[in-house]
Amino acid sequence: MALFYWVRDEIAYTMGDWGWRASDTLALRIGTCSNKANVMVAMARALGIAAGFHVQVVSTRSYFSGGFIPMVRRAVRDTAVHVHVGLHLDGRWVKCDPTDDEELSNAIEAIVPHARAFDFDGERDALIPFAPGSVASDEGPLVEIDAQLSRTPRIDEVEKRMFGAYVAYMREFGARYRHDSDAERARIEADFRDFLATADPHTHEALATKERGDLRVAG
């Protein structure tokens, strides 16, 4: 239980590169779902607890829920890969998911209901409650996910920086948004663009250039 809460809350969730060693994620104190799962599995094994990985395929729209703003929607595919942890406790496998840190969960739970922070008692599964029908598959427990971690991200460098900034923005300001609607998503996007222009003008400009290029290709 202590391990779950430490990984969940002491390593902030982000989106972006996932091909890090557990020691890299520990040093940075930030990581993707697979980075955080990798840390928890490594630490559990170091404590003598058998541990493995679960790899889910999840509807991207469901994953983001009320945070699925247009600029995010354009950058992703219909499904996303999500990784959580399996621990062998008292003769059976128990699943837990330390992905969303409590600070982020508290900020976005009004528009992303499945992001609400949950407890883990070491006896029962503690997983993100995605909407029914959102999880296409769940494979595990797996001994390792090296192949998953070595895969090249499907998004480019500009989009990776944008995603990282978006998660950081929602952690700090997500509580401003109280319901899921197209109008609210448009407001989130407008506010985030303003934030990005100040917080990371290089990424803001690179993203705008990329979007203008995409529009020319589409036209």
**Per-residue 3-state assignment (H helix, E strand, C coil) for the chain:** CHHHHHHHHHCEECCCCCCCCHHHHHHHCEECHHHHHHHHHHHHHHCCCCEEEEEEEEEHHHHHHHHCCHHHHCCCCCEEEEEEEEEEECCEEEEECCCCCHHHHHHHCCCCHHHCCCCCCCCCCECCCCCCCCEEEEEEEECCCHHHHCCCCCCCHHHHHHHHHHHHHHHHHHHHCCCCCHHHHHHHHHHHHHHHHHHCHHHHHHHHHHHHHHHHHHC
Strand order in the sheet with 135-142: 92-96, 79-89, 51-59, 135-142
- Average per-residue pLDDT for the chain: 94
Q: Indicate if the pLDDT at residue 17 is higher than 90.
A: no
> What is the model's pLDDT at position 50?
98
Instruction: Give the residues across from 51 on adjacent strands.
Output: 87
**pLDDT tens, position by position, 118-176:** 999 999 999 999 999 999 999 999 999 988 888 877 788 999 999 999 999 999 999 99
Instruction: Record the pTM.
Output: 0.93
pLDDT grade for 215, boundaries at 50, 70 and 90 = low
pLDDT score, position 138: 95
Instruction: List residues bridging with 135 in a β-sheet.
Output: 58
Domain ranges within the chain, ordered by starting residue: 2-218
Nearest one of 43, 131, 141 to 85, comparing CA atoms? 141
Q: What is the pLDDT of residues 59-84, one digit of tens each?
A: 999 999 999 999 999 999 999 999 99
> pLDDT at position 216, please?
53
